[in-house]
């Protein structure tokens, strides 16, 4: 090292005299020496640990680049070092970018939540826009029946736990019938993952109900039990038959048993009250009126924004039943003449609480205060082993815009893409109108402005600019929890039981499924 050190500085500097300073300075600047880390450390003894680590990294990168250069035919050492340094920087940049992708997505979601003005107490719930933005990029593998069903769910064309579950199973039948097993795999292994894509896409429209989740678990279990030696056609036909049998046993026949058992609690001259819309309760009232010829009155209590009770009242009136309709704001007046309260269920939790449409808890508590019995009609398919103490931890967050309508009609929501298109066209129309008004002058301008404002006042709903009001938040939650103390009896296809006996039904359900 002592012989080669002075020779290189002399050739580089062109001087014959060697001083103690001359060998150090060129070596620090010279990038062609094979040992760049030893010379600076010998000349400058004030290097920090961080600088030493950087020098070691450069040395390792130079060795890798030199090995590649030798394997590829050899290149200049300076070029290899520069390429190695550039590669290291690019790799570091890529790693930094990939590690920050999730953070950037989370920050983008937080911005959306701030714009939507979600109350802090319900900030953990996903909005409709977030579900659409987080939709998986699996449109190429989603079946057309699932696409159509997702649109019906998101626009509330299909509402209710039972109708949604039946529609999902019918769509799964189409998915299974058109399924083809790829080469190198079996149906029992690949069909489960194929269905998972369909289910993930359905979740973007609305969260899955408890009955839908139980049905999906049952279907995946049935798929896993199919033998590998079974042909695709035989396996698909067997699954479709089992789905039809599942719908018949767990929904159709269960509703018939529940209707026959619950009909004993309705007598001639009674006034029964129900809330919202429930398929099993609709069958119960029609059965008592047409099959048993009982004369009674049904009070349908309803609330915004879905107005499901209107559909129930209309269907019952078309069948000749006596009906009364009212909003939940007038519940205290309607409750005076009620003999029995019948409620539907979205789910029954293992701690005995009823998880149903928001407003159900208010009706149950009001009935308990007046000593009116509250009966819940619920299939065992809707029983869940979850435990929930409030309606804040787990709930469905509806669109705040749905609460602003003043027409009183049932909610008919437009698709997400259509809403974006309409809002864009409204902005373009508003800008065009403003530009044309500026060109006009005199009395014509005043008349046009007045008529335009009048039309806009009629079209725009109340609080249409609520997002611009800083202190105003609009909350639209879909479900609430009813305490088991407010429920007298739960009527299922397995019998009538108190809310404390829900775990018994769960054990029975798990033993049969």
* pLDDT tens-digit series, residues 444-479: 444 444 434 443 444 556 777 888 888 888 888 999
218 in a structural domain: yes
Angle among Cα 102, 106, 112 to the nearest 5 degrees reads 145
Q: Are residues 276 and 186 in the same domain?
A: no
**Distance in angstroms (rounded) separating the CA atoms of residues 409 and 308:** 10
Helix, strand, or coil (residue 347): strand
Q: Are residues 59 and 176 in the same domain?
A: no
At residue 208, the pLDDT reads: 94
Any residues with CB less than 8 A from the CB of 324 and at least 6 apart, and which?
A: 297, 298, 299, 300, 334
**At which of 228, 255, 282 does a domain end?**
255
Which backbone phi and psi does 198 adopt, to 5 degrees?
Answer: -65, -40
Q: Are residues 202 and 315 in the same domain?
A: no
Contact 220, 195 (CB under 8 A): yes
Rounded mean pLDDT of the chain?
A: 78
498 in a structural domain: yes
Q: Are residues 366 and 489 in the same domain?
A: yes
**At which of 255, 278, 311 does a domain end?**
255
460 in a structural domain: no
Would the pLDDT of 15 be above 50? no
- pLDDT tens, residue by residue, 279-332: 999 999 999 999 999 999 999 999 988 999 999 999 999 999 999 999 999 999
Any residues with CB less than 8 A from the CB of 230 and at least 6 apart, and which?
A: 187, 238
Contact 11, 4 (CB under 8 A): no
**Edge-to-edge strands, sheet with 322-327:** 322-327, 297-302, 271-275, 340-343, 374-377, 489-492, 495-497
DSSP-assigned beta bridge partners for residue 302: 327
52 in a structural domain: yes
At residue 33, the pLDDT reads: 43
CB atoms within 10 A of CB 163: 15
pLDDT: is 273 or 455 the higher one?
273
**At which of 208, 234, 255 does a domain end?**
255
At residue 372, the pLDDT reads: 96
Q: Which of 357, 354, 353, 363 is nearest to 273 (CA)?
A: 363
At residue 450, the pLDDT reads: 40
Q: Are residues 334 and 378 in the same domain?
A: yes
Alpha helices, DSSP H only, in 349-393? 360-369
56 in a structural domain: yes
% residues pLDDT > 90 (the chain): 49
Q: Are residues 376 and 486 in the same domain?
A: yes
225 in a structural domain: yes
Q: Are residues 133 and 189 in the same domain?
A: yes
Confidence of residue 401 (pLDDT cuts 50, 70, 90): confident
Helices 161-177 and 210-224: crossing angle in degrees, nearest 10, is: 30
Would the pLDDT of 396 be above 60? yes
262 in a structural domain: no
Domain at 140, CATH number = 1.20.120
Q: 501 exposed, middle or buried (CB, 10 Å; 0-12, 13-18, 19+)?
A: middle
At residue 460, the pLDDT reads: 59
Q: Are residues 228 and 317 in the same domain?
A: no
377 in a structural domain: yes
What is the reported pTM?
0.68
**Distance in angstroms (rounded) separating the CA atoms of residues 288 and 495:** 19
**Distance in angstroms (rounded) separating the CA atoms of residues 508 and 513:** 9
Domain that holds residue 508: 267-397+480-512
% residues pLDDT > 70 (the chain): 68
- pLDDT tens, residue by residue, 112-150: 444 457 777 777 777 766 666 555 455 568 899 999 999
Which backbone phi and psi does 348 adopt, to 5 degrees?
Answer: -115, 120
Q: Are residues 276 and 372 in the same domain?
A: yes
Q: Is the dihedral of CA 48, 50, 55, 56 positive or negative?
A: positive
At residue 21, the pLDDT reads: 43
Q: Are residues 69 and 206 in the same domain?
A: no
- Total number of domains in the chain: 3
Domain at 276, CATH number = 3.40.50.10470
Q: Are residues 299 and 331 in the same domain?
A: yes
Q: Which of 375, 324, 328 is nearest to 354 (CA)?
A: 375
At residue 133, the pLDDT reads: 58
Q: Are residues 385 and 506 in the same domain?
A: yes
- pLDDT tens, residue by residue, 212-252: 999 999 999 999 999 988 999 999 999 999 999 999 999 99
């Amino acid at each position: 090292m002592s012989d080669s050190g002075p020779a290189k500085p002399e050739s580089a500097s062109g001087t014959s005299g060697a001083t103690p300073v001359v060998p150090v300075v060129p070596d620090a600047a010279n990038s062609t020496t094979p040992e760049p880390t030893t010379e600076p450390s010998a000349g400058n003894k004030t290097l920090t640990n961080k600088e030493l680590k950087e020098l070691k990294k450069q040395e390792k990168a130079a060795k890798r680049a030199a090995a590649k250069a030798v394997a590829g035919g050899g290149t200049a050492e300076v070029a290899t070092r520069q390429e190695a340094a550039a590669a290291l920087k690019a790799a570091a940049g890529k790693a930094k970018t990939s590690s920050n992708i999730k953070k950037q997505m989370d920050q983008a979601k937080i911005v959306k939540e701030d714009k939507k003005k979600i109350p802090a107490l319900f900030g953990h719930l996903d909005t409709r826009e977030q579900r659409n933005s987080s939709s998986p990029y699996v449109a190429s593998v989603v079946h057309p029946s699932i696409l159509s069903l997702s649109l019906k769910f998101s626009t509330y064309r299909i509402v209710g736990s039972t109708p949604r579950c039946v529609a999902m199973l019918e769509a799964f039948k189409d998915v299974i019938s058109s399924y083809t097993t790829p080469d190198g795999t079996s149906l029992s292994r690949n069909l489960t993952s194929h269905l998972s894509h369909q289910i993930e896409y359905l979740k973007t429209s609305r969260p899955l109900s408890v009955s839908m989740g139980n049905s999906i678990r049952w279907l995946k279990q049935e798929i896993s039990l199919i033998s590998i030696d079974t042909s695709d056609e035989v396996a698909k036909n067997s699954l479709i038959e089992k789905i039809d049998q599942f719908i018949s046993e767990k929904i159709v026949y269960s509703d018939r048993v529940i209707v026959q058992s619950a009909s004993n609690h309705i007598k001639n001259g009674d006034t029964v009250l129900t809330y919202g819309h429930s398929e099993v309760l609709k069958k119960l009232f029609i059965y008592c009126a047409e099959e048993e010829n009982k004369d009674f009155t049904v009070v349908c209590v309803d609330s915004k924004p879905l107005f499901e009770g209107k559909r129930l009242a209309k269907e019952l009136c078309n069948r000749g039943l006596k009906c009364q309709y009212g909003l939940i704001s007038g519940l205290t007046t309607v409750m005076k003449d009620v003999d029995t309260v019948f409620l539907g269920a979205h789910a029954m939790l293992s701690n005995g609480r009823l998880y149903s449409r928001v407003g159900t808890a208010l009706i149950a508590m009001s009935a308990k205060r007046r000593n009116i019995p509250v009966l819940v009609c619920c299939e065992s398919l809707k029983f869940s082993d979850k435990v929930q103490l409030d309606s804040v931890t787990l709930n469905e967050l509806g669109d705040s815009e749905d609460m602003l309508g003043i027409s009183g009609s049932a909610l008919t929501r437009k698709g997400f893409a259509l809403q974006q298109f309409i809002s864009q066209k409204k902005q373009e129309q508003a800008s065009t109108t403003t530009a044309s008004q500026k060109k006009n002058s005199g009395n014509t301008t005043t008349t046009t402005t007045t008529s335009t404002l009048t039309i806009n006042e009629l079209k725009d709903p109340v609080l249409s600019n609520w997002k611009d009001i800083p202190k105003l938040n609009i909350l639209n939650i879909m479900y609430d929890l009813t305490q088991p103390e407010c429920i007298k009896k739960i009527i299922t296809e397995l019998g009538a039981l108190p809310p404390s006996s829900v775990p018994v039904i769960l054990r029975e359900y798990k033993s049969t499924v």
